[in-house]
Amino acid sequence: MKILVVGGGGREHAIIRALKQSPQCTEIWCAPGNGGISYDAHCKAIPATDVDAMVAFAKEEAFDYVVVAQDDPLALGMVDALAEVGIPAFGPDKAAARIEASKVFSKNLMQKYGIPTADYAVFDDPAKVIAYVEEKNKYPVVIKADGLALGKGVLICQNHEDVTEAVKEIMLDKKFGASGNHVVVEEFLTGPEVSVLSFCDGKTVKPMVSSMDHKRALDGDQGLNTGGMGTVAPNPYYTQEVADRCMKEIFLPTVAAMQAEGCPFKGCLYFGLMLTPNGPKVIEYNCRFGDPETQVVLPLLESDLLTIMQATTNGTLAETEVKFRNGAAACVILASGGYPLAYEKGKEITGLSEGQLPGCADVTVYHAGTALKDGKLVTNGGRVLGVTATADALPEALKKAYAASENIHFDKLHKRSDIGARALAAMQ
């Protein structure tokens, strides 16, 4: 089969490396891809959000299957557009992608179907947000932009000034454009966070191995929020008991709710969960694989990814095996100095051979923000590389990932030194 993966980050690189292991996969492309991905797939420089150009390319090249890995093209209806020209794809259609593309849609869905989540209110008037929060007078409080905001549209407010600033940024200055026309104001939940990716075919849901993300830029969970500075899998807080409860109270009801609303979800449904003192609650849904969660989850997958993906498209997931190996994976992100704020690009990356570290066993380097310039690999984004290691147990996986990362160099490289520390503490 000839396959196209839409996107160009570390997540897409992990998907490509997993798909290449399938005997059915004979040719693989990535659009737009990146420097490091070009060692593993043919890359075509089409923006992921250019639905018309992408569909025209897919048709012209006669792809058998397209994996739409990024949130924006899913929200724009790329899967629908591909279906119109007869090309099957992995990912939800536009109606189902609203579960991530609109926080208002997802919160209302949870309320209607009794899926546990934080208490909330929805507003389109900035003055009313401020009045509501003042009346409640309960801090911290969470303010979320309704639409997609590159993972930056969630603000935790500690006081009145923070609320005023958040409202100004999202609703008045329109930092995220139309995504800020409505906001969701939410109670602040506490407890360990868990990410669970799952495969869905509209009626069946099969969870993948759980993971733990590290969102803050600096050690000790300090600094600004980022797209994620590292991940570990499995998440030690996600016990079998918790997993069973989530399946019954969250996963199955969500899939049934989407079916009942006339927009069955097919693809990868990501559950961002908080294990509160009152049980597991949904913080957010994503309509696609998480980044960098994918970089620890897929390396542990034993079953054929392409077979599973096709089963989600065809509605045959119930009879398809989804098996993960026992063991652990850890991913450490190497970022550009200054990320998530301003950073420089074009720094030469040394220590890699064809994008990998051949001397390090059980280690894969996933490329997020790299480019090839005059035959040299250079930095081209905030998050540059993800170094993933697998092992029988988490301490060993972390040790391998950190040791391997020491071989990679570029100017102003920044990484956290404590990825997995919380998970290790929880395992004691």
The domain spanning residue 15 has which CATH number?
3.40.50.20
Residue 345 is predicted with a pLDDT of: 98
108 in a structural domain: no
Q: How many CA atoms lie within 13 A of 146 on its CB side?
A: 19
Residues 336 and 423 in one domain: yes
Residues 227 and 246 in one domain: yes
Residues 60 and 135 in one domain: no
* N-terminal to C-terminal alpha carbon distance within the chain: 46
Domain boundary (286, 319, 352) is at 319
User: For the segment 243-261, what is each residue's pLDDT rounded down to a tens digit?
Assistant: 999 999 999 999 999 999 9
Residues 174 and 284 in one domain: no
Residues 348 and 409 in one domain: yes
Cβ neighbours, 10 Å, residue 353 = 9
pLDDT grade for 408, boundaries at 50, 70 and 90: very high
Domain that holds residue 246: 193-319
Residues 6+ positions from 37 with CB-CB distance below 8 Å: 8, 12, 13, 16, 30, 43, 367
> How deeply is 392 buried, as exposed, middle or buried, from its count of CB atoms within 10 A (0-12, 13-18, 19+)?
exposed
Task: Give, in order, the Cα–Cα distances in Å from 127 to each of 132, 134, 217, 229.
Answer: 9, 11, 32, 35
pLDDT at 211 over 90: yes
CA distance 286 to 107: 13
103 in a structural domain: no
Under a CB-based contact definition with an 8 Å cutoff, are residues 169 and 155 in contact? yes
Domain boundary (300, 319, 338) is at 319
User: For the segment 377-403, what is each residue's pLDDT rounded down to a tens digit?
Assistant: 999 999 999 999 999 999 999 999 999
β-strand 65-68 against 2-7: which pairing, if any?
A: parallel
104 in a structural domain: no
Domain boundary (91, 116, 134) is at 91
Cα 25 from chain centre: 24
Number of separate domains in the chain: 4
Q: How many CA atoms lie within 13 A of 93 on its CB side?
A: 15
Residues 161 and 252 in one domain: no
Q: Which helix (H) or strand (E) segment is 19 a member of?
A: helix 10-19
Beta bridge partners of 271: 196, 285
105 in a structural domain: no
113 in a structural domain: no
Q: Which of 136-150, 268-282, 408-422 has the lowest mean pLDDT?
A: 136-150
CA distance 112 to 387: 41
Q: Which one, of 213, 228, 209, 188, lies nearest residue 422 by Cα?
A: 213
pTM of the model: 0.96
Residue 14 is predicted with a pLDDT of: 99
> How deeply is 85 buried, as exposed, middle or buried, from its count of CB atoms within 10 A (0-12, 13-18, 19+)?
exposed
DSSP string, 312-360: HHHT-GGGS---B-SSEEEEEEEEETTTTS-----PBPBS-BTTB-TTS
Mean pLDDT of 29-47: 99
Under a CB-based contact definition with an 8 Å cutoff, are residues 221 and 256 in contact? no
100 in a structural domain: no
Residues 151 and 39 in one domain: no
CA distance 411 to 211: 30
Q: How many CA atoms lie within 13 A of 20 on its CB side?
A: 15
Residue 152 is predicted with a pLDDT of: 79
Q: Which residue has the tokens 């059915």?
A: 24
Residue 225 is predicted with a pLDDT of: 86
79 in a structural domain: yes
pLDDT at 207 over 80: yes
Task: Give, in order, the Cα–Cα distances in Å from 85 to each of 7, 48, 52, 72, 317.
Answer: 20, 18, 11, 20, 24
Residues 397 and 346 in one domain: yes
Residue 304, amino acid: D
Residues 380 and 401 in one domain: yes
Cα 425 from chain centre: 25
CATH of the domain at 420: 3.90.600.10
Taking all residues of the chain, what is their mean pLDDT, rounded to a whole number?
97
Residues 197 and 314 in one domain: yes
Q: Which helix (H) or strand (E) segment is 166 a member of?
A: helix 160-167
